[in-house]
Each structure stands twice: as C-alpha cells, then as structure tokens.
Chains A and B, each alone.
Chain A
Amino acid sequence: MLDATVYERIGIAVGSTALALLISLVIVAAVGHDPLQFARDLIVGSFGSRRAFSRTLQFTTLFILAGVAVAVAFRAGVFNIGVQGQLIIGGISATLAIIWVAPFLPNGVGGGIALALLGLIAAMVTGGLYAAFPGVLKAYYGANEIITTIMLNFIAIGIVGWAVDGPLRPDDARSVRTDYLPDNVALPQLLFENPNFSIVGLAFALVVAIVISIVMTRTSLGYDMVTSGHQEPAATFSGVASKRMIVTTMTLSGMIAGLVGAIFAIMVQGYFIDPSGIGNYGFDAIAVSLLAANNPLGVVPAALLFGALDSSSSYVQINSGVPVQLIDGIVGLVVLFVAAPELFRMIAKRTGLGGDDR
C-alpha cells in the first residue's frame, strides 16, 4: 500500500468505511430492523449528549494508543497482531505495581501522580517485553509473527484470567477482579463528568501519537525501522542490522500497547478484570491503523470513528434492538475493503471519479 498518494489513501479510507456502513444498513434491513433508526442511533449514541460524547472520547483515547501501537509495527513491515495480549499484560502489570507500591507512598495528590507514573512505566516495560519475545522468535528463528502473537494473545488471556480469578482475587470480591486501585490514583476530572474518562488521558494519547509520528518520520531510528521492513537488502547495505530492527520495532509497538492497558486500568476501570471480558481494543486497533494507512497521526480521526462506533453500541442495542456484535462485523468489513485498494481504483475509473489521482 506504499504506492498510493495521500488523496488516494483518504479516498480508500472513506470509501471502505462508507461501503462497510452501507452493507451493515442492508444487513440491518434484511434481519427486519429499521436501517434509518439504526443509522440515527449510531449518531445519537455516540455524539447525541454530553455523556455519550465523553464515552466516545473514552474509547477514542484507547483506540489512538492501540492504533499507534499497531501502526508502528505495520509501518515497519512487522505484523504485530498481539497488541491485545500486550495491553493485557501491560494493564495487569500497571495494576499490580500500583497496588504493591501504594502502601509505601503518601496518600495525597503527589503520591497519586507518582503511582500513576509507576503504573505507566511498569506497563511499558512488560508490554514491551511481551512483544519483544515474538520479535526475537521472528528475527532469529523465522517464526511467523502473525501466528506467534495471536498465540501469545490466547496465552495472556489465559494466564491473567487465571490469576485474577485465583491468587489475585480478593476474598471479598463478588466478581472476578483484582483489588481496587487506591483513590488517589486517577486522572483529574476536567470538562467532562465521567468517572471513566479524563481529558488528560486523551491529551496523553495525542502526545504519544505526535511523538511517535516525529520518531517515525524525522529520526534515523524511524527511517531505519521503515526501510528494514520494506527494503531489507537496501537497509542491510546501508548498515542497518535488520534483525535487531525487527526486535526494536516489536518492543516499541508493545510498549505503546502496554500503555493502552495502563490507561484502561487507571482511567477507565480502576482495577483489572478477567481479560476475556475487556473489549477487543487490540483487534479493532488493526482496523484503526489500516484505515489510517499506518500513519500515527492519521490514527487520530480513525480512532474517533471507531470510538464512536463502540460508544454507540449499547445505545443501538437498547433502542433499535440490533445486536451489538454487528459493530464488530462492520470492523471486519472495513478491514476487508482496506485490503483491496484495487477495488476502489476500479470503481473510481468506472465512475470517472478521481481517476487521474495516480
């Protein structure tokens, strides 16, 4: 997908989304619901009220970070499908680090900030390591990273799921969860009254996206990562150790994925749950990144779109009776169409729209 102009990429993204939404409207109509009502519920459920909007931004925050994690890897030609597992490992590590260190720090705001930072660092370290492992297996043993990262997703869900239901579960917990994070570990409530969202979290995600964008386009590290992914012989010729670059890429991607888990634990949940029950942020992030043509800044609008879709799902189900799982299906359709840019080129040629972009 490197041989497309910026306009073409935007066209493909808009076209894929529109086509996927159109098909979903047809499906809604086919199963006997009102597609217009469904379309209206999608918008009202995501932007219709201050509460809905803050929930949309809550999902957007997670999707920006997760999308950037995927984009870093895909940009460098490494298929990290393991963001879901890496964010689970990062999230549980952040939760445990905070809970274990909390008794040794003062209770006030200062202690809270220190603990939150500690959580973020713990998540980056463990998420990075959990991604570096398949990176090493790919670079030095030729193990296909798509499959190893998917297996590591299953393993992360299994082990963390076992732990929060066993050794980490407090005796008085009625549901499967860890202890609560201390009260002083929370992001400040500004502008929005939503215990699961803070504008500070969103700002943090945006800063990460900008920093990564700069790293990828303006530093030699980013340049080496991209060239070793797409032109290995050229990279090797210019002295880049492409095997080490694969490991570096995976580690960076996993560190950002770990941050998703930490923000999920600190901003959204306030504790950690059975990972089979948290959203598929790591998978949806693949769609987010592909829609953005793996550009860290392009991830932001794509994350807003997916944040809105996810945010509206419960409203849609209650109001129009369409099962929420349709949203996941739409995500799949978007990815399918993004995979086939030729399809849109052909449509564009047939209809005479933007045919001279190339």
Chain B
Amino acid sequence: MSVADYTSSRRVRLGGLAVVTLGALAAVAVLVFDVPLERIFTVGFINRTLVGASPIALAAIGGLYAEKSGVFNIGLEGFMIFGAITAAAAMYGMGGTSPSQPHIWLAIAIAVAFTLALTILYAVLLIRYKADQIVAGLAIWFMGLGFAPFAASLLWDTVRSPGLASINNYSVPYLAEIPYLGSIVFNQSPLVVFTLVVVIVSWIFLYRTQYGYWIQAAGDNPKALDTAGVDVNRVRYATVIFSGAMAGLGGAVLLAHAGDFIGTGDTMVDGRGWIAIVAYLFGNYNPIGAALAALLFAGLDMLQIQFQTADITLFGRDISARLMGLAPYVGVIIVLTVWGKTRMPSSVGEPYEKEE
C-alpha cells in the first residue's frame, strides 16, 4: 500500500469515526436528555460557527505552510493576539469609538502588515540564529499576553477597549430571503467568504504550483531541494513570514467580528491559536482539511450559546455556560489522542545547514 493510500484510508476511517461519534452523541442527547435538536442546529448556529471558524482556519493555514516547509511555528497564538490588538488600535486611531466599515478593512490590513514585520524578526531568530522553535514560539505567546494588554492600558486605561465597530454582513436582495440557504450564503460576513477563498487558493498553491512543491520538499527532503538548486532557507523564510501574517490576519478577523478588544486573562484569542495548530494536524496538513477541523472546533465553541438559548437543562439544572465553553478544549484533547501520530514532514524542527 502506498503512502497516499495509507493516509487516505486512515482519513476515511477517522472521518467515519468522527461522524459515528457525532451521530451517537446526538442520539444520546435526543433520547436520554430530551434535547431539542432542531433548536440546536439553527441557521444562527451555522452562521456563528462559520464566523467562529474563520480566524482559526486562517491561522491554521499559516501554521501548516510553515510546518510543511520544516519549521514548527508554535507562536500562532501570540501572533493572533498581536493581530487582534493591532487591528483594534488601528481602528481606534482612525475612527475613535465609531470607526466606519472602510476603517475596519484598513485596520485588518495594518494588523497584517504589523504582524508580518514582527514575523520577519521571528523568522531571522528561528532560521539564521537557529533559535529553539518551541521556546521561541512560547515566547511570542508570552509577549502577546504581556504587550497586548499593555498597549490596551496605554490607549484606554484598562485592558479592554471600548466598543469599536464590527464588520457588516453583505446582503443580496431577494436571494437573502430564501429560507436557510439565503441567510447563510446571501447574508453573510464578507470575511467568512474571504476565508473560504483563502482556503481554496492556499490548497491550489500548495498542491498545484511549483512553489508549493518546493514548500513540501523543504520539509520532507531539504537535501534534495538543495541539490535541485533551490535555497531551502529562503523557502522557509517565506513560509514562516506567511504563517505569522496569516495568524495576525486571523486575530484581526476575530476582532473585526467581535468589535472590541478584550485583554483580560488569556485575552480574546483564548487558545484559538493552539486550536489552529490542532486543526491542521487533524486536517492532515491539508488546507481544506484544516478548515473543516476549524469548523468542528468552532461548532463546539458555539454550542454553549445554543444550550443557553434553547434552555436545555441537565438533571433539572441549568448547564453552566462556563463549563460548556470548555467543549472545544476537551475536543482538542480527544482529537490529539485519537489522531496523535500524524505524518509530520520528516525534517520539522531541524535547522537546515548547507554543506559547503
């Protein structure tokens, strides 16, 4: 059996397992706890899941590009935090507490530019100075946890921003009124559609272009790529910088949907960067797979709202929103346990040194 056969059969098997598990859970929910399913899987739920999945999917695609090329960018969470605070600060700088829609788009662009610049420094540390990839990635997270609330305090005197503005949905006349489909496809956040486009383009780029093959070779067989005359470290610089910018974009998109910055505790990013790493592992380093995994985790996250609004009780007691909010984290642990031994590119984590 070839490697491709092996991974695809494994994927089918695990995908089947996931579907069966979800089905069983739903059956238990309906039969044992008398949960009204139609009140859980509403149009609102689907839209919230799409919105929630976008930042995770964007960061995950960045992370998988870096890892495909042989660098583990564990700093995704940190770059997301920097993206979110930069977008908030830019929005506030341009439009005060009532920024316009163009201000939001500009703020996202500024956030991407800033995190891109930051990642250049990070990439130099990782590739030129051979910094420990895990420790440096953690450092980016810690810096985000410190500097983002620090910046918020300077701007607004507290670690939370005042209400800024969130992105408006586009709405196609008439079509938006089609039941279900209309309010999902024709009345949607433009950032969700944008994310979808990014997912597809990054899939095509990785699997159908020459540069995409170089990226894969840089992670799986850097020596062969070097022999073929391609500078391995140059490819890695490009993917690491791309990954930081994508995580920054994810953070900015998160902020553009939320409409204000929260810097308490683990900040508003709250583990999404870590979930993004698991999303691309689960998606087997495939952008489309990663996006589907992001949907799964976002869906788990949004369940808490459904349980609240559907007024579901367990043994006669309300289910705590705080406990329900832990579902994505539990989901991540389960996914890693079942799907732990992923087929990592063979040279991940090793600095590449050209032999003279």
Binding site for B on A (CB under 8 A): 1, 31, 79, 81, 137, 141-144, 146-148, 150-152, 154-155, 157-159, 161-162, 165-166, 276, 280, 283, 286-287, 290, 323, 325-333, 335-336, 338-340, 342-343, 346
Neighbouring A residues of B145 by C-beta, 8 Å: 280, 283, 328, 332
On whether the beta carbons of A339 and B333 are closer than 8 Å, the reply is no
Which one of A31, A148, A286 has the greatest number of beta carbons of chain B within 10 Å? A148
> 14 A-B pairs, CB-CB below 8 angstroms?
A147-B332, A148-B333, A151-B274, A152-B329, A158-B325, A158-B329, A162-B320, A162-B323, A328-B150, A329-B147, A333-B143, A335-B139, A336-B139, A346-B129
On whether the beta carbons of B322 and A147 are closer than 8 Å, the reply is no
On whether the beta carbons of A155 and B326 are closer than 8 Å, the reply is yes
Q: How far is the CA of A154 from the CA of B143 in the complex (A)?
A: 19
A335 nearest CB across to chain B (Å): 4
Q: How far is the CA of A287 from the CA of B141 in the complex (A)?
A: 12
Asked if B34 is an interface residue, CB under 8 A from chain A, the answer is: no
Asked if B337 is an interface residue, CB under 8 A from chain A, the answer is: yes
Asked if B142 is an interface residue, CB under 8 A from chain A, the answer is: yes
Partner of A325, one of B138, B159, B322: B159
Q: How far is the CA of A23 from the CA of B323 in the complex (A)?
A: 40
- With contacts A329-B150, A336-B125 known, is A79 near B139, CB below 8 A? no
Q: How far is the CA of A286 from the CA of B132 in the complex (A)?
A: 14
A97 nearest CB across to chain B (Å): 23
Q: How far is the CA of A137 from the CA of B132 in the complex (A)?
A: 24
Neighbouring A residues of B135 by C-beta, 8 Å: 290, 335, 338-339
Q: How far is the CA of A343 from the CA of B125 in the complex (A)?
A: 8
Asked if B172 is an interface residue, CB under 8 A from chain A, the answer is: no
On whether the beta carbons of B146 and A335 are closer than 8 Å, the reply is no
Q: How far is the CA of A162 from the CA of B319 in the complex (A)?
A: 11
Contact flags B123-149 to A (C-beta < 8 A → 1, else 0): 001000111101110111111111101
Interface residues of B in 259-301 (CB under 8 A from A): 263-266, 270-271, 274, 277-278, 281
Considering the complex of A and B, which 4 residue pairs feature the smallest CB-CB distances, nearest first? A328-B146, A329-B146, A332-B143, A332-B142
On whether the beta carbons of B340 and A137 are closer than 8 Å, the reply is yes
Neighbouring B residues of A283 by C-beta, 8 Å: 142, 145
On whether the beta carbons of A327 and B146 are closer than 8 Å, the reply is yes
Neighbouring B residues of A148 by C-beta, 8 Å: 332-333, 336-337
On whether the beta carbons of A159 and B277 are closer than 8 Å, the reply is no
On whether the beta carbons of B340 and A142 are closer than 8 Å, the reply is yes
On whether the beta carbons of A158 and B153 are closer than 8 Å, the reply is no
- With contacts A147-B274, A325-B147, A340-B129 known, is A137 near B134, CB below 8 A? no
Q: How far is the CA of A222 from the CA of B136 in the complex (A)?
A: 27
Neighbouring B residues of A333 by C-beta, 8 Å: 139, 143
Q: How far is the CA of A165 from the CA of B278 in the complex (A)?
A: 31
Asked if B117 is an interface residue, CB under 8 A from chain A, the answer is: no
Which one of A79, A159, A339 has the greatest number of beta carbons of chain B within 10 Å? A339
Q: How far is the CA of A157 from the CA of B323 in the complex (A)?
A: 10
- With contacts A287-B142, A340-B129 known, is A332 near B147, CB below 8 A? yes
Q: How far is the CA of A51 from the CA of B138 in the complex (A)?
A: 33
- With contacts A142-B341, A331-B146 known, is A151 near B138, CB below 8 A? no
Neighbouring A residues of B320 by C-beta, 8 Å: 162, 166
Asked if B154 is an interface residue, CB under 8 A from chain A, the answer is: yes
- With contacts A158-B326, A159-B323 known, is A143 near B333, CB below 8 A? yes
- With contacts A147-B274, A335-B139 known, is A79 near B336, CB below 8 A? no
Neighbouring A residues of B142 by C-beta, 8 Å: 283, 286-287, 328-329, 331-332, 335
Q: How far is the CA of A79 from the CA of B336 in the complex (A)?
A: 16
Asked if B302 is an interface residue, CB under 8 A from chain A, the answer is: no
Partner of B149, one of A144, A166, A325: A325
Q: Which residue of B lies closest to A336 (CB)?
A: B139
Neighbouring B residues of A79 by C-beta, 8 Å: 134
Asked if B310 is an interface residue, CB under 8 A from chain A, the answer is: no
On whether the beta carbons of A150 and B271 are closer than 8 Å, the reply is yes
Q: How far is the CA of A142 from the CA of B146 in the complex (A)?
A: 32
On whether the beta carbons of A342 and B277 are closer than 8 Å, the reply is no
A161 nearest CB across to chain B (Å): 6
On whether the beta carbons of A332 and B146 are closer than 8 Å, the reply is yes
On whether the beta carbons of A329 and B143 are closer than 8 Å, the reply is yes
Q: How far is the CA of A333 from the CA of B144 in the complex (A)?
A: 10
Partner of B336, one of A137, A158, A331, A332: A137
On whether the beta carbons of A335 and B336 are closer than 8 Å, the reply is no
Neighbouring B residues of A146 by C-beta, 8 Å: 74, 134
Neighbouring A residues of B138 by C-beta, 8 Å: 81, 286, 335
Q: A336-B125, A336-B143 are in contact. List 17 more A-B contacts (CB 8 A).
A: A79-B134, A81-B138, A137-B340, A141-B337, A143-B340, A144-B340, A146-B134, A147-B278, A159-B323, A159-B326, A280-B145, A323-B150, A323-B154, A332-B140, A332-B147, A343-B129, A346-B129
Asked if B29 is an interface residue, CB under 8 A from chain A, the answer is: no
Q: How far is the CA of A328 from the CA of B140 in the complex (A)?
A: 11
Q: How far is the CA of A81 from the CA of B141 in the complex (A)?
A: 12
Q: Which residue of B lies closest to A79 (CB)?
A: B134
Q: Which residue of A lies closest to B133 (CB)?
A: A339
